[in-house]
Amino acid sequence: MKPQLAYEDLEFLRSDEARPLRILAEYLGPLRRFHRENIADTIVFFGSARLDSSGPLGRYYDEARELARRVTAWSKSLPSHARRFIVCSGGGGGIMEAANRGASDAGGLTIGLNIGLPHEQRPNRWVTRQLSIQFNYFFMRKLWFAYLARALVVFPGGFGTLDELMEILTLAQTRKLDRRIPVLLYGPRYWNEIVNFEALVHHGMIAREDLDLFAFVDDPATALRLLQARLAPVPEEAAPALAHSRTPDEP
């Protein structure tokens, strides 16, 4: 019997000993796809998987879809050799589906960084097939959200959305990324009820200037105008335009 190569041994690849290889694969696999599709950077949409177009918060599904459509139409109009500002979501239902669907409405590519969860996370059908990427590790999925992001639009959501939002705000606050990532909180009434930002300032947990790390928006037209203003001018980029971490000695 011919000896089996280690990289063809599924039992080994699924073992504890091979965990570093699986983690590395969740970095190199997406990187290869983004290079192949000439993806330079993304605009990331976060929000609840539980929202659809019905119910008291149903408008957010429709508005996420419309904003993603507008972002994609703008992206396609840019004079770039690379694919710029591609709409990216977590690949599941709710706001994620709305974002991917809106980008598809405009005839553009759209990314879904999916992760398997017991109840509510299944890939939606609007993600571009070759850009539907499945993750096992939350931290590798979050790395890819941050790595290509030029901006975030954060719709109402729960624990997962809060986790993703705070991750990016922490990276921005601590200046661990070499470029600023504009963060738009969509739905000020929701966000000001869920997170008491002023109380964080009052108690000295954040500085007053940390509130400048994000802005509130409440309609697709305003959101697009802010994105265009904060992302202009749009330099030509080779694909992919990865964010880099600052070291403690860098200004």
How many structural domains comprise the chain? Answer: 1
Which stretches within the chain are classed as H helix?
10-13, 19-36, 59-77, 95-105, 138-148, 159-173, 188-194, 197-202, 220-231
Residue 2 in any domain: the answer is no
4-18, 101-115, 166-180: range with highest mean pLDDT: 101-115
Whole-angstrom CA distances from 87 to 71, 76, 103, 199, 204 are 7, 11, 6, 33, 35
* Average pLDDT of span 199-217: 97
Residue 7 in any domain: the answer is no
* Domain around 80: 12-230
Residue pair 108/131 in contact (Cβ under 8 Å)? The answer is: no
- Summarize pLDDT for 54-77 with one digit per residue, the tens: 888 999 999 999 999 999 999 999
177 DSSP assignment: B
Q: Is the pLDDT of residue 243 over 80?
A: no
Residue 152 in any domain: the answer is yes
Residue 133 in any domain: the answer is yes
- Summarize pLDDT for 135-183 with one digit per residue, the tens: 999 999 999 999 999 999 999 999 999 999 999 999 999 988 888 899 9
213 DSSP assignment: G
Query: In what side-by-side order are the strands of the sheet with 183-186?
Result: 132-135, 110-115, 86-89, 42-46, 149-154, 183-186, 214-217
| Residue 60 Ramachandran class (φ > 0 left, ψ -120 to 50 alpha, else beta) | alpha
How confident is the model at residue 235, as a pLDDT? 74
* Average pLDDT of span 211-239: 91
Burial class (CB in 10 A: 0-12, 13-18, 19+), 240: buried
Residue 67 in any domain: the answer is yes
Q: What is the CATH classification number for the domain harbouring 200?
A: 3.40.50.450
Residue 6 in any domain: the answer is no
| Residues ≥6 apart with Cβ < 8 Å to 75 | 83, 84, 85, 86, 87, 108
Residue 240 in any domain: the answer is no
Residue 248 in any domain: the answer is no
Per the prediction, the chain carries an average pLDDT of 92
Whole-angstrom CA distances from 202 to 46, 111, 208, 239 are 27, 39, 9, 43
Q: Is the pLDDT of residue 18 over 90?
A: yes
